[in-house]
Each structure stands twice: as C-alpha cells, then as structure tokens.
Copies of this chain bind each other. A is one copy, B any other.
Amino acid sequence: MNNRTEIASLGEFGLIEHLTKNFEIQNASTILSIGDDGAVIDHFGKQTVISSDMLIEGIHFDLMYSPLKHLGYKSVVVNLSDIYAMNATPTHITLNIAFSNRLSVEALDDFYEGVFAACEKYGVDLIGGDTSTSQKGFIISITALGEITADKVVKRSGAKKGDLLCVSGDLGSAFLGLTLLEREKKIYLEHPEIQPDLENEQYIVGRLLKPEARKDIIEFFEQSNILPTSMMDVSDGLSSETLHICKQSNVGCVVYEDKIPVNDQAKQYAYKLELDPTACALSGGEDYELVFTVPQSDYDKLVLNEQISVIGYITDIEEGVHIITKGGSTHHLTAQGWNAFKQ
C-alpha cells in the first residue's frame, strides 16, 4: 500500500462501485447482480442451499497478523465450506461489511481482492451486500447460496449404525497456527525489535490464515458415485462435529485416535509446545475439513482418495460416543475433547 485514500472521499455508492467494478459474473443463473435493491438468480429446477456466517475483528480474527487479502479470502471460504458440507455446489454470495475510518480504500481493496480470488477459485458470484460504518472493528457477514438436486442433499442427521466415520485432509493445524501467531504477537508486543520467524511453520500458519474449502471432496463423491449418509464441516473441532452428527442422527460412534490425520509439521510444533496433537485435532477447530459418514460398502471407493481418512464407525446410540486411544484405553468424547482427553 503506497497510497491512502480516505473512504469518505468516495461516498457509500462510490465505494461500492469502486470495490465491485471489476467483478465478472461466472454463473449463468445470475440474472441480476449488484446495483439494485436485490439480486435475482434462476434455478433450472435445482434446490438452493443457504448458509450465513459472521466474522468479527477481535473475536474471529486479529488484523495484527491477518493480512486483509487473506481475510477476504477466508471470509468467503468458511461460508462455502458450509455449502459443500451439504454436498451442494456454491454459486452466489452476498457480503455485508462494516468498518471504522481507520481503514483506507486501499485496505478495503486488499480485502476485496481476497474476496474476488476466492469467488474466482470456487466459481461463485458476489451478487450484493451492504457497506456500513462500525463503532469499533471490522465486521464481515456473508451469506452463501449453493445449488443441488433434491436427492443429493446430505444432512447431519442420516448416519446409520455400521457406517464408516471419515474425515478429509488433516486436523489441528489451524489451531496450532493460531497458537503460534498469538505467541509471536505477544513476543512482538513486548519486544518489537524481534522479528517473528515463521519459516518452518508455513503450513500451520497457512491453514489458519488462508484455509480452503473441500470442493475436491464433493467432486470426488460425484465422480465416485458416493452419497454420504451425513456430513458437516469442521469449524469447531472434530469432537464437537462428531457429537453433532451423532446427536442429530441418534447414533453413537467409536473414533480411533491413531486414525485421526495430523500433519507432520503440525505434530512437530505441537510437541514443541508440549501439546497433544490429538487434542488439537479434536478441539482445535477452523480446519474446514469435512467429517462425514458413508455405508461400509463404499470403503473400496474411499481408499482411492488419499485425502480421506476412515477414523471410526457408527454404533447404536446406547453405546455412546467414544475414542479409543493409541494406548488402547477408551474415553468418552465431549465437545471440549481436549480437556476431556487430558483428564
């Protein structure tokens, strides 16, 4: 950023025009986009999936270590992740933001650059929204829409006894990235002369600051003719999401600690901090992986995808929700899996 243009110099409508002028429509279903009271989309007989999320400075992100471009990207991705978690294809987003005059037009440009990069990567159209002033901090609220044929919707509530419990990618890295950045922030605030060295920790930092949604997994399901019986994205941590699926499906399950995928760099950093990598995976959150269940008969198809790990299986509700540790002992899984695990 070499220049600083005050937002007031553009005015509200000028600002919206400035921020959205280079944005091209990607979906044929987008009949009318930004610039009217509402946007209009057509459906060609499909159903629409909708999800909405808010990100608030100081609560969900820290501008001290979140570059605005990454923040724009992540804001879109976390919403698309919810659409993929329904087995749907995201098509449209609306974006409401509020900010104080601490931010310049150039800063907002960076944020929108990230928004547009995510829209382009995932084939999504930004079709509307609202810009506003805030009393304090930067506030982002996004609603994402996706499309799906009626018989492909995957809810949280369809897991059946005997189904395999699976997860995409690896877990716990975003939490460790957050721990690292919070640590470096603290050091920097106390000793501004010390530059943070993140060279060896790019993976976990990247997982926090610029997560991706698992479009590839949904495409793999389609290609492989797999229809999960239940699915959720991992925003709060594997424990919490597994408990949601079990509760809404009225089932129990068993998770094997040694099957939970954790990246090697993440493991190393966890050990460095004397944290249990499994605890990070269970309770860390913000990984935006997919946790899902499939019938056992899909096992042969699943193993062809290295990005998918089978981590357990679904049981009767009476059997509860358990984790079997590497040492072979059995523990109840709770939403605060980490604390529970440490008992």
| A residues lining the B interface (CB < 8 Å) | 31-32, 35-43, 45-54, 56-60, 82-83, 85-86, 88, 92, 94-98, 127-130, 132-137, 139, 141, 143-146, 148, 150, 153, 155-157, 231-233, 248
B residues near A50, Cβ cutoff 8 Å: 38-41, 92, 94, 127-128, 143, 145
Q: Are the CB atoms of B94 and A58 closer together than 8 Å? A: no
Q: Can you list 9 contacts pairing A with B, beta carbon distance less than 8 Å?
A: A37-B156, A38-B50, A40-B47, A41-B48, A41-B50, A50-B128, A54-B97, A56-B98, A56-B135
Given contacts A48-B41, A139-B139, contact A153 B32 (CB under 8 A): yes
Of B52, B94, B96, B98, the residue contacting A130 (CB under 8 A) is B52
Are B38 and A82 in contact (CB-based, < 8 A)?
yes
Which chain B residues border A38 with CB–CB below 8 Å?
A: 49-51, 82-83, 85-86, 88, 144, 146
Contacts of A141 in B (CB 8 A): 52, 54, 96, 130, 141
**By CB atoms of chain B within 10 A, which of A60, A88, A146, A155 has the most?**
A155
Let me know if B45 and A48 touch, CB within 8 A.
no
Q: Which B residues lie within 8 Å of A231 (CB)?
A: 37
A50 vs B60: C-alpha distance when bound (angstroms): 26
Q: Do A42 and B139 contact each other (CB < 8 Å), given the known contacts A130-B53, A132-B56?
A: no
Residues of chain B within 8 A of A47, CB atoms compared: 31, 40-43
Judge whether A98 and B51 touch: CB under 8 Å.
Answer: no
Give the docked Cα–Cα distance between A61 and B129 (Å): 19
Secondary structure call for the A interface:
strand
Query: Is the pair B96, A135 in contact by a Cβ cutoff of 8 Å?
Result: no
* CB nearest neighbor in B for A39: B50
Known: A59-B135, A139-B98, A143-B143. A128 touches B40 (CB 8 A): no
Contacts of A148 in B (CB 8 A): 40
Contact check, B96 vs A37: say whether CB atoms are below 8 A apart: no
Chain A to chain B: the 8 pairs with minimum beta-carbon distance, closest first: A141-B141, A52-B94, A143-B143, A37-B85, A38-B51, A37-B82, A136-B136, A54-B96
Please name all residues of chain B whose beta carbon is closer than 8 Å to the beta carbon of A232 when the two chains form the complex: 37
CA distance in complex: A150, B29 (Å): 12
Residues of chain B within 8 A of A94, CB atoms compared: 50-52, 143
Q: Which residue of B lies closest to A131 (CB)?
A: B54
A58 touches B153 (CB 8 A): no
Asked if residues A132 and B40 are in contact (CB atoms below 8 Å), the reply is no
A195 CB, min distance to chain B CBs, angstroms = 28
**A36, A60, A133 interface centre (most CB from chain B within 10 Å):** A36
Contact of A48 among B43, B129, B136 (CB under 8 A): B43
Question: Taking the nearest CB of chain B, how far is it from the CB of A186, in angstroms?
Answer: 19
A43 to B145, CA, bound (A): 13
State the CA gap A32–B150 with chains docked (Å).
11
